């Protein structure tokens, strides 16, 4: 279910599938039914779009990160407008604005959606179950360093941790810090170091080698 190793515990959480629908989930279901009833979209078109989203992986986001690591001009455009930068690479990031936040030696960013599970699915793939859990949504805001430590990501005291709350109107993705020892690596090899979790911010990119 995750790109990181499992020799550490994840935040305790209730069974997500058995949890009652949130207000926003109920609204989403109602809107989908209304669009089909009014013939704005057909049930087949709606199903096809869901299948397209479900088939997405973190590969497109990883490709963008790798390009940003080797192309400073592209990185600036990506930080300014992820959706437009994705189009440059022939990628579809969707119509909802996505903001990219850069990890540096002094700042570590992590993404959460405190209301539900808003997430840049077209670039990173389906959100993991822990991202949707009440535990992650609540604790990441209150004690981000403790949550990161449970994912095996220890953040030094002199590094600032910034938590970004995704919404229905604005999504976030993290530009991970480029691993040391990757000078001279091509984009494809660099992209292989970028994981879903590193683009959420709960882990770092894989080390070289």
Query: What integer pLDDT is reported at residue 71 of this predicted model?
Result: 98
Query: What integer pLDDT is reported at residue 111 of this predicted model?
Result: 97
Task: Count Cβ neighbours within 10 Å for each residue of 183-193 and write b for 16 or more, e otherwise.
Answer: eebeeeebbeb
9-39 per-position pLDDT tens digit:
444 444 444 456 666 667 777 877 777 787 7
Residues in Cβ contact with 146 at an 8 Å cutoff, skipping those fewer than 6 apart: 139
Query: What integer pLDDT is reported at residue 24 of this predicted model?
Result: 61
Q: Which listed residue (2, 42, 57, 113) is catalytic?
A: 113
DSSP letter at 128 equals P
Query: Helices 43-54 and 23-37: crossing angle, nearest 10°?
Result: 140
To the query of whether residue 118 is one of the catalytic residues in this protein, the response is yes
Containing 140, the helix (H) or strand (E) segment is helix 134-142
Query: What integer pLDDT is reported at residue 50 of this predicted model?
Result: 57
**pTM (2 decimals)?**
0.76
Q: Which listed residue (100, 118, 133, 203) is catalytic?
A: 118
> Can you tell me the mean pLDDT for 90-103?
95
pLDDT at 161 over 70: yes
Q: Which listed residue (100, 116, 166, 198) is catalytic?
A: 116
Mean pLDDT score of the chain: 86
Least confident residue range of 20-34, 46-60, 61-75: 46-60
DSSP letter at 14 equals -
79/173 Cα distance (integer angstroms)? 10
Q: Highest mean pLDDT: which of 42-46, 144-148, 167-171?
A: 144-148
24/179 Cα distance (integer angstroms)? 38
Q: Are the beta carbons of 157 and 86 closer than 8 angstroms?
A: no
To the query of whether residue 100 is one of the catalytic residues in this protein, the response is no
E strands present in 38-113: 98-102, 107-112
To the query of whether residue 2 is one of the catalytic residues in this protein, the response is no
Angle value at C-alpha 55, between 128 and 23, nearest 5 degrees = 50
Least confident residue range of 11-15, 101-105, 157-161: 11-15
pLDDT at 95 over 80: yes
> Can you tell me the mean pLDDT for 162-186?
95
107-125 per-position pLDDT tens digit:
999 999 998 889 999 999 9
Q: Which domains does the chain have, with CATH numbers?
A: 19-55 (no CATH), 57-200 (3.90.330.10)
Look at the block and give the residue holding tokens 């970004």.
Answer: 164
Q: Which listed residue (100, 117, 198, 203) is catalytic?
A: 117
Give the model's confidence band at 79: pLDDT under 50 very low, under 70 low, under 90 confident, else very high: very high
| Residue of higher predicted confidence among 41 and 138 | 138
């Amino acid at each position: 279910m995750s790109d990181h190793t499992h020799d550490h515990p994840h935040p305790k959480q209730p069974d997500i599938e058995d949890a009652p629908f949130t207000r926003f989930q109920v609204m989403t279901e109602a809107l989908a039914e209304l669009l089909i009833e009014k013939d704005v979209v057909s049930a087949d078109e709606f199903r096809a779009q869901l299948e397209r989203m479900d088939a997405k992986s973190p590969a497109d986001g990883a490709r963008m990160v790798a390009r940003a690591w080797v192309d400073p001009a592209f990185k600036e455009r990506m930080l300014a407008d992820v959706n437009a930068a994705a189009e440059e690479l022939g990628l579809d990031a969707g119509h909802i604005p996505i903001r990219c936040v850069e990890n540096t030696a002094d700042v570590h960013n992590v993404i959460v959606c405190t209301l539900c599970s808003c997430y840049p699915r077209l670039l990173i793939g389906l959100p993991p179950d822990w991202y949707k859990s009440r535990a992650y949504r609540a604790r990441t805001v209150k004690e981000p360093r403790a949550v990161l430590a449970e994912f095996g990501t220890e953040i030094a005291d002199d590094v600032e941790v910034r938590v970004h709350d995704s919404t229905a109107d604005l999504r976030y993705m993290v530009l991970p810090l480029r691993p040391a020892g990757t000078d001279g690596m091509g984009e494809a090899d660099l992209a292989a170091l970028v994981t879903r979790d590193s683009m959420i911010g709960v882990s770092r990119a894989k080390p070289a080698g």
